[in-house]
Chain A
Amino acid sequence: MPVVESPLTLSAVLPPGIYARRARALIGRSAMVGRHIWLLIASGFVEPLLFLAVFGAGFGTMIGPVTGPDHHPMRYITFVAPALLAVSAMNGALHDATFNVFGKLRSKFYDTVLSTPLGTLDIVIGEMSWALIRGGMYSAGFLAVMLATGLVGPVAAVVCLAAALLVGASFAATGMLATTYLRSWQDYSFVTTATMVQFLFSTTFYPLSTYPKALQWAVQVFPLYQAIQLMRDITFDTVGPQTAVHIAYLLVLAAIAFVCAVRRLHRKLIS
């Protein structure tokens, strides 16, 4: 008899009580809260655009054309824009997955959730989905501006949005995993620093060739580097075998971080 994928087989693998298939409830709750803090959510659109304006337009006049991945010189803002899209996808997902999740851990919100039929897996799926919804909105807003200013083509913009969701998933899962290690609000600055190191050094502002060889290897390990290269491949139409590597890297990272986050959060909440 062929093995049929059914709810029964899934619940046979998972520990009891960890998953009730009701992550939707948590997303609905986040959306309800979101209506009250709409100004906060709306302000998230502004930040990446500000960076685009400042680094693209302000710096652009001081820096000449840059050599892109296809070895053609391009305007500085054209070079920076896809990278800032990746940064925006990262930040949009990370904020919910780290800051907000830690706040809910501290306020014992999840203990309340666990007293309902929902389990840890519902929590992780629910929070990650909300992070993706919110991060996806920011990416869409940023892409709309890129499209309007001719920094990306219409087809590439749609593909970029899908890529932004993948990037968001990787960082949301990694962020939730990192949050399970935080001990206090002060520890949050480790997250900020890790984000900032990636933001500054993942070839956001200059090509990889600027670094010495040894450093180039180190930079390529950063998830944000992979995300930025993926966005540049799509935007500059330089898709090749390396694109598959970027996608695979982000997928594997998302999967590993997701599993580890569920396990660690489960142990933290149940014990």
Chain B
Amino acid sequence: MLDTASTASTPPAAPAAPAPPTPWQPAPQTSWQAARCVLGNLWIRHRVTWRSTFISSVLQPTLYLLALGLTLGAHIRPGPNTWGQPYAVYLVPGILVTRAVQNAVGESTYPLLDGFRWTRTYWAAVSSPLEPVDLLNGQVLWVAVQVLESAVAFLVIAAVFGVVTGPGVVLSLFFAMLTGLAVAVPVMAFVASLEREGPWFTVLSRFVILPMTLAAGTYFPVSQLPGWLQPVAWVTPVWHGNELAREAAFGGLNVATLSVHTGYLLLFLAAGYAMARRRFTRRLRF
């Protein structure tokens, strides 16, 4: 109401030349707008480097599908171990989840430390109206977009090879994204507390991410692992993601499993987010 009143009182403006477009955006008003600013910035960078990102996020899983799914898979008989599916079909949801986790973690390590330490873009950003939490939100959104983008591309390729069973696999996409975030957001909290790189990214990828993606039900069911190792696999988000993605793809999704697995993943995500939020704020504001 106030707005209309004020415009009504001003005299009708003379037709002036249109204002030259300014490169400045108005300051974001809501945290959603702020996160979108950050997302936009990441997107600009992506436009320059997308070729190599595309290679690692789409070509590499396709190669895994070809080598392990279609070629090695020819030596594996369909059975209860493969949900009754041909091995390549069984593998597709697993690759979706695994690659989502790897992509998401990749986007959450070096790029974050770059913002904090090397090019220090985060410090530039928080001297604008952006808050530290906006940077985190934007980064989380970015990871979600990025993971979904490459997962869709991989799924299209998998469909061309004829190893996609049905529409259920579209649901697997979202479970893959959720798993990616459930692993990546705690990683963001970890990276935000790192003073320098040290050996930590390699240690993280070799001792946490790689074992998880290799052994937690991606390439073969957890029941093939030695008995003492199986509970370890059950604790990993990747196992829950794999189960969800396979249930969605091959049927068998029910309320009980859905709520247990998604609940577990959301718990990881929420705990990671709370930690990351605190670390971002503490590091960039104090």
Asked if A pairs with B, the answer is: yes
Q: Which residues of A contact B (CB under 8 A)?
A: 37, 39-40, 43-44, 46-47, 50-51, 53-54, 58-59, 61-64, 66, 184, 186-190, 192-193, 196-197, 200-201, 205-206, 210-211
Whether B207 lies near A200 (C-beta < 8 A) is no
CA–CA, A135 and B79, complex, Å: 40
Q: List the B side residues contacting A44 at CB < 8 Å.
A: 206
Whether B72 lies near A40 (C-beta < 8 A) is no
- Centre residue among B52, B63, B207, B215 by max chain A CB count within 10 A: B52
Q: List the A side residues contacting B220 at CB < 8 Å.
A: 58-59, 61-62
CA–CA, A55 and B109, complex, Å: 27
- B49 touches A (CB below 8 Å): yes
Shortest C-beta distance, B214 to chain A (Å), equals 4
Shortest C-beta distance, B126 to chain A (Å), equals 25
CA–CA, A43 and B201, complex, Å: 11
A205-B67 contact, Cβ under 8 Å, with A47-B210, A63-B75 = yes
Residue of A nearest to B226 (CB): A57
CA–CA, A44 and B53, complex, Å: 25
Residue among B55, B81, B207 making CB contact with A193, cutoff 8 Å: B55
Whether B203 lies near A39 (C-beta < 8 A) is yes
Whether A40 lies near B203 (C-beta < 8 A) is yes
CA–CA, A188 and B110, complex, Å: 14
Residue among B60, B207, B210 making CB contact with A196, cutoff 8 Å: B60
- Give 14 A-B contacts (CB < 8 Å), ordered by A residue: A39-B199, A51-B214, A58-B219, A61-B220, A62-B81, A64-B75, A186-B51, A189-B56, A192-B60, A193-B60, A200-B68, A201-B63, A205-B68, A210-B74
Whether A210 lies near B56 (C-beta < 8 A) is no
Whether A46 lies near B225 (C-beta < 8 A) is no
Chain B, 175-213, CB within 8 A of any chain A CB: 198-199, 202-203, 206-207, 210-211
Whether A54 lies near B214 (C-beta < 8 A) is yes
> In the complex, given contacts A39-B203, A188-B52, A196-B63, what are 18 additional A-B residue pairs having Cβ atoms less than 8 angstroms apart?
A40-B199, A43-B202, A51-B214, A58-B215, A59-B219, A59-B220, A61-B220, A62-B81, A63-B72, A63-B75, A63-B76, A66-B75, A189-B53, A193-B56, A197-B63, A200-B66, A205-B67, A211-B71
- B interface size (C-beta, 8 A): 33
Q: List the A side residues contacting B66 at CB < 8 Å.
A: 200
- Centre residue among B198, B206, B210 by max chain A CB count within 10 A: B206
- Centre residue among A40, A44, A53, A62 by max chain B CB count within 10 A: A62
Residue among A43, A58, A186, A210 making CB contact with B225, cutoff 8 Å: A58
Whether B199 lies near A43 (C-beta < 8 A) is yes
Whether B202 lies near A40 (C-beta < 8 A) is yes
Whether A187 lies near B52 (C-beta < 8 A) is yes
Residue among B52, B55, B72 making CB contact with A205, cutoff 8 Å: B72
Q: List the A side residues contacting B83 at CB < 8 Å.
A: none
Residue of B nearest to A192 (CB): B56
Chain B, 43-69, CB within 8 A of any chain A CB: 49, 51-53, 55-56, 59-60, 63-64, 66-68
Shortest C-beta distance, B210 to chain A (Å), equals 6
Q: List the B side residues contacting A51 at CB < 8 Å.
A: 214
- B224 touches A (CB below 8 Å): yes
A46-B206 contact, Cβ under 8 Å, with A190-B52, A205-B68 = yes
CA–CA, A188 and B64, complex, Å: 19
Q: List the B side residues contacting A63 at CB < 8 Å.
A: 72, 75-76
CA–CA, A186 and B215, complex, Å: 28
Shortest C-beta distance, A156 to chain B (Å), equals 26
Residue of B nearest to A210 (CB): B71
CA–CA, A210 and B52, complex, Å: 30
Residue among B72, B81, B202, B219 making CB contact with A54, cutoff 8 Å: B219
Shortest C-beta distance, B69 to chain A (Å), equals 11
Q: List the A side residues contacting B206 at CB < 8 Å.
A: 43-44, 46-47, 50
Q: List the A side residues contacting B211 at CB < 8 Å.
A: 50
Whether B52 lies near A37 (C-beta < 8 A) is no
CB-based closest 4 A-B pairs: A200-B67, A40-B199, A186-B52, A189-B52
Q: List the B side residues contacting A193 at CB < 8 Å.
A: 55-56, 59-60, 63
Residue of A nearest to B222 (CB): A58
Shortest C-beta distance, B212 to chain A (Å), equals 11
Whether B224 lies near A62 (C-beta < 8 A) is yes
A58-B56 contact, Cβ under 8 Å, with A43-B202, A47-B206, A205-B68 = no
CA–CA, A190 and B52, complex, Å: 7
CA–CA, A266 and B221, complex, Å: 51
Shortest C-beta distance, B83 to chain A (Å), equals 13
Shortest C-beta distance, A65 to chain B (Å), equals 10
A62-B76 contact, Cβ under 8 Å, with A43-B202, A190-B52, A200-B64 = yes
Whether B63 lies near A50 (C-beta < 8 A) is no
Chain B, 27-54, CB within 8 A of any chain A CB: 49, 51-53
